[in-house]
Amino acid sequence: MKKSQRQLVLAICLSLIFATIVAMPMARAEENSDVSSEKINTEARQIEEILDPFLQLIDDMPEDVAEGDISEGVEWLNKNKGDEFKEYKFIADGENLKTIKIEDSNQIKTMSVWPCISSVGKALAVNVFPWSKILKVKQAAKLMGGLNSMTKTIITAYKHQRNLGLSKTNAIKKAVSISTKTLPGETQKAVLELFSLGDVVDSCF
């Protein structure tokens, strides 16, 4: 390699190293930015309120339905969804659960963009939740002392992680990891995926 080429390579490497060193404190500063207790409490309350109707549905669902085919599960959900999901219809997207919004009695429209995600109904209109993880969430709740106990434990851990300076997304990941550390890995992933649906409220405040 010619001297000029070596110098060019060296200069590029030094630039990359310098950029990395500069970026690291900025990333840490963003992660550890101060957030008021009032805002954290609002976030936690909204995540819980958004997830609660869907969690209750999962909790009420018979185990044989959760263990069965997604088509049977979708049928059960639509029969038992209650007022919280009256504007939505549960559908199967392959082996994933999804929703579509019912515009009126004669038209059902798939929604792709929302100005603000404020319910699991909306969240599942733009995301999917693997059907195989429904049963794992039910099992997690049972092992953690019930649905309310699981939710309370994770939300409390979430607020603590936010107070430590973590972003909303990372706080949810850490909270679920800590709260479900005694559960099997696949069960932990199912709970995390469900609670990550609540993190889409990020666009609402």
Give residue-wise pLDDT tens across range 7-42: 554 555 545 554 444 444 444 434 555 789 999 999
Instruction: Provide the mean pLDDT of the chain.
Output: 80
Q: Which H or E run contains 145?
A: none
Q: Considering the entire predicted model, what is its pTM? A: 0.73
119-145 pLDDT, tens per residue? 788 888 888 899 999 999 999 999 999
Per cent of the chain over pLDDT 70 is 73
Residue spans of the domains in the chain: they are: 35-204
Whole-number pLDDT of residue 1:
53
Whole-number pLDDT of residue 200:
58
Beta strand pairing call for 129-130 and 107-109: unpaired
Task: Specify which of 77-81, 106-110, 112-116 reaches the highest per-range mean pLDDT.
Answer: 77-81
Q: Which of 99, 104, 125, 101 is nearest to 113 (CA)?
A: 125
Q: How many residues does the structure list for the chain? A: 205
Supply φ then ψ for residue 114, to 5 degrees. -130, 135
103-112 pLDDT, tens per residue? 754 544 444 4
Residue 88 has pLDDT above 80, yes or no: yes
